[in-house]
Structure 1
Amino acid sequence: MLRRRPKRFLFGLHLSGSIESALSIFSVYTGICEFSHRRWLVLGCLILGVTWASWPTMAEPSIPSDRHAVQLSYAPVVGKVAPAVVNIYTRRRVSTSSRSLFSDPFFERFFEGMPFGVPRERIESSLGSGVVIGSEGLIITNQHVIAGSDEIIVVLSDRREFEAKIVGSDDKIDLAVLLIDPDGEPLPFLEFGDSDGLEVGDIVLAIGNPFGVGQTVTSGIVSALGRSAVGLSDWRSFIQTDAAINPGNSGGALVNLSSELIGVNTAIFSRSGGSIGIGFAIPANLVRVIVDSLVAGGKAVRPWSGILGQSVDYEIGRALGLPTPRGMIIKAMHALSPAWEAGLKIGDVILSIDGHDIDNPQGLRYRMVTSALGVNIPIIFFREGKIFETTMQVVMPPEDPPRDVMVLEGSNPLSGATVGNLSPGFAQELGLEWTRIGVVVLRVESGYAARLGLRVGDIVLELAGEKITSTKQLLKILNQEPVEWEIKIDRGGKLMSVVVRL
């Protein structure tokens, strides 16, 4: 006859399989066919106690001690690098004039230049982040964080504040080096990592001061490497990451799990101003080179190749006989360039430089600027169906001809302009391609040049029917004082022509 189990036994149902199996064995062994309710309960509690005692105890929380353990928590990495990431606050004074009746466009026609508005001064503030890279107080940040500032305040992680001075800056790379005086106390700083050793998928942490809320850490992976076609600079080859980077993060640290600085957070792609998982950082290898040159001389050093090229697409690769479309084909080359000395020719396809693949002109520039001056770097290139190897010396672009800067005066259409001779070195300094030749306008003050509408960066190609190649030739023609002047100018790649009669 079946009997109902007592309700007081229901607490052990989750172990019923184990208990019933044990009881079955126990019954067979002892020959006992039935127990009272009390004996069932006692025996169940004994088995439950043995089972509970066999379960492992909860481990005490501990700090991860190796790479595998640290992947479970980023706290050890953050604890090591966070003290070296600082907040940067800048202030600048801006003078404005209050509007008056005479600010109306109608009255401006008659009273142009008259100081009717009352001048007012206001303070503009901005914020960003920075990274301590030297125990003596050397700090790096983005140049756009401190651009135009009258005062720079650095706030350390321990809330101490210091006024910083600018050691040097490079607006084309968007980097600035600052220095603070920590009163002789060594500061925690970050070591540079090898950004060339990064791989897509590596875990990275971004640390900064987004929106001024305070030091914030976000995590992500390396989404892509060698991002150059992002409209920011021809000299940089960005690390792309999906770690959240927001306004205020500029100049902050991008670190790896070895607590090394592998990038400086610089920009984001966003339509709203907030992070959508597409952020860009300047690679540490480029940062190191720029910092060394700024600290040494206050000016960035950029070697050149003297090459103009373009990426090899499918059609070009098939026409050249490349097995797969890769590399950069040479379209033009300067006669004084190190590439010319290395034996390269127009039509050659550069495949790699110093062991790094080259796929576009920006990648070539990046590899040149991150190479040490004076060394010979190996180049692998493709020519007429075969692969060759050569070496090219890393040098600075020459200033040939000399810049010969002069101010033009007298009764001529260029009076009031400051001009100079273009050369590969001078063109690079001005942000122009080395292919630009002639006489460039450096400054325009009062005079006929200002009335003519001449602008900084204009290149004088022809004057009075003669092709201009130097400032001395330009001055000689201006001294002839012809009745009519025909001037041809290159403005940003567009040709302009004007006839002037004085």
Structure 2
Amino acid sequence: MRRFWLLFAQTVTIALGIYVVVAALRPAWLGRAPVQVGIGPDHAVPMLQTPAGSSASGSYRDAAGRAMPAVVNILTSKAMHEAHPLLKDPFFKRFFGDKMPPQEQMASLGSGVIVSGEGYILTNFHVVEGADEIEVGLADGRKAPASVVGTDPETDLAVIRIKEKNLPVIVLGDPDKARVGDVVLAIGNPFGVGQTVTLGIISALGRNNLHINHFENFIQTDAAINFGNSGGALVDTRGNLLGINSAIYSQTGGSVGIGFAIPVSTAKTVLDSIIQHGQVVRGWIGVESQDITPELADNFGLGRDHGAIIAGVVRGGPADRAGMRPGDILVAVQGKKVTSTSDMMNFIAALPPGGKARLTVMRKNHESTLDVTIGRRPRQTP
């Protein structure tokens, strides 16, 4: 019996030894992937599944590499005040010579995104507002003067242009497919330190009523955005442009994880209109409105707790001519449901001036339809 037991133990020992050798040298024979463990620069680890656009190590360098060349630095300067006319007179120059007091200049930093091979760059209006000179620094080291093609203060967007060849152009993404929790990268020139990439997620979509711009539909992100990032790119994990970084919520002036970007869908509309018309053309009906709140609905017996109540109508304007009256509740524009004043403004602004639109209103708990000839929204001054 002892002899058989020794033979069994020796057989098991040999089998285990063979298994260990095969597992180490020929793991494929056992249907297993190699697992190498070690310390130092030469050790390998198994490949992990990673999100689209990221590398095997969980890096987003591919997305950053696609987008960074198209993100530019913008340096603007403007005179603080005009010199006194007498100081420009040749007679006085004879006495002062080269000791004439220099005109003070104020410099400002920002970012922009190249969206066309023809040199068109999207940035924020507040980056180039009032600038006398604009210089664009490309990621490849080139520098070029830029001119303003057009601005849109109501969305805080501007289009500038440089005359350079072989420009990198960013790929436009689809913000309508973006979801809260998606990973995003913010690219810009914070504090003038140079091109910088920060990582975060989409914290919220469709943010409005922030009283930053007249038309608001922000993408909120916790990717760090600081002074100098304005006008830069918010991109997805494939390096496609989702938005133009525009503002932050901060009590200190630095990033606290609440940043806002203008969706590229809005930016593209502004870009096309500025290139075609030199300015943004929007629809207008001539009303003042107010959001309906549950308290307002209860106090006035409105019968609904959402929509836009018409607080005022411009005399002789499109809405007035169509029969709209103060107290009406606008519930739909061309069949699109209006839940807030922001909805109403965005829907009407998207309508082409001169065309007719069907607006649905509630008046004394009765629904009616008005056909309104859309006017052209007056250009807003900064």
Shorter-chain TM-score: which interval? Answer: 0.7 to 0.9
Any unmatched runs of 5+ in structure 2? 36-44, 84-98
Alignment map for 1:415-494 (pairs within 5 Å): 425=378, 429-430=380-381
CA deviation after TM superposition for structure 1 residue 207, in Å: 1.6
Q: Does 1:130 align with 2:112?
A: yes
Q: Deviations over 1:187-215 (max 9, x none)?
A: 22234445455444444332211122222
| Rounded Cα–Cα distance in structure 1 between residues aligned with 2:282 and 2:181 | 31
Q: Deviations over 1:301-340 (max 9, x none)?
A: 23212111111111233344535x2111112112433334
Q: Does the residue aligned with 2:280 lie in a helix, a strand or coil?
A: coil
Q: Deviations over 1:249-302 (max 9, x none)?
A: 100112334644332111111111111111112232332232233223433323
| Rounded Cα–Cα distance in structure 2 between residues aligned with 1:48 and 1:278 | 54
Q: Could you say which residue in structure 2 is the equivalent of 1:313?
A: 293
Question: Contact between 2:200 and 2:223, CA under 8 Å: does it hold in 1?
Answer: yes
Question: Contact between 2:50 and 2:56, CA under 8 Å: does it hold in 1?
Answer: yes
Match of 1:290 among 246, 270, 295: 270
Q: Deviations over 1:408-438 (max 9, x none)?
A: xxxxxxxxxxxxxxxxx4xx5457xxxxxxx
| Rounded Cα–Cα distance in structure 2 between residues aligned with 1:253 and 1:345 | 43
Match of 2:311 among 331, 339, 343: 331
Number of equivalenced pairs: 353
TM-score with structure 1 length normalisation? 0.60
| Inter-CA distance 430–131: structure 2 relative to 1 (3 Å threshold) | closer
Q: Deviations over 1:333-383 (max 9, x none)?
A: 124333345554332222343565534434432333334434445544434
Alignment map for 1:72-471 (pairs within 5 Å): 73-94=59-80, 119-183=101-165, 185=166, 187-196=167-176, 198-257=178-237, 259-318=239-298, 319-322=300-303, 325-354=305-334, 357-385=337-365, 387=367, 392-397=372-377, 425=378, 429-430=380-381
Larger radius of gyration: 1
TM-score with structure 2 length normalisation? 0.77
Question: Contact between 1:165 and 1:180, CA under 8 Å: does it hold in 2?
Answer: yes
Q: Does 1:48 align with 2:25?
A: no
| Rounded Cα–Cα distance in structure 2 between residues aligned with 1:200 and 1:389 | 36
CA deviation after TM superposition for structure 1 residue 56, in Å: 0.7
Q: Deviations over 1:64-85 (max 9, x none)?
A: 7958999965333333222211
Identity of aligned residues (%): 36
Question: Contact between 2:282 and 2:352, CA under 8 Å: does it hold in 1?
Answer: no
Question: Contact between 1:228 and 1:234, CA under 8 Å: does it hold in 2?
Answer: no
| Rounded Cα–Cα distance in structure 2 between residues aligned with 1:63 and 1:394 | 53
| Rounded Cα–Cα distance in structure 2 between residues aligned with 1:217 and 1:151 | 27
| Inter-CA distance 225–159: structure 2 relative to 1 (3 Å threshold) | same
| Rounded Cα–Cα distance in structure 1 between residues aligned with 2:55 and 2:101 | 62
Tell me the C-alpha RMSD between the 2 structures.
Answer: 3.8
User: Which residue identity is paired with 1:365?
Assistant: M
| Inter-CA distance 96–337: structure 2 relative to 1 (3 Å threshold) | closer
| Rounded Cα–Cα distance in structure 2 between residues aligned with 1:395 and 1:194 | 30
Q: Does the residue aligned with 1:290 lie in a helix, a strand or coil?
A: helix
| Rounded Cα–Cα distance in structure 2 between residues aligned with 1:271 and 1:357 | 36
CA deviation after TM superposition for structure 1 residue 232, in Å: 1.9
Q: Does the residue aligned with 2:65 lie in a helix, a strand or coil?
A: helix
| Inter-CA distance 204–350: structure 2 relative to 1 (3 Å threshold) | farther
User: Which residue identity is paired with 2:75?
Assistant: Y
| Inter-CA distance 66–243: structure 2 relative to 1 (3 Å threshold) | closer
| Rounded Cα–Cα distance in structure 2 between residues aligned with 1:190 and 1:372 | 29
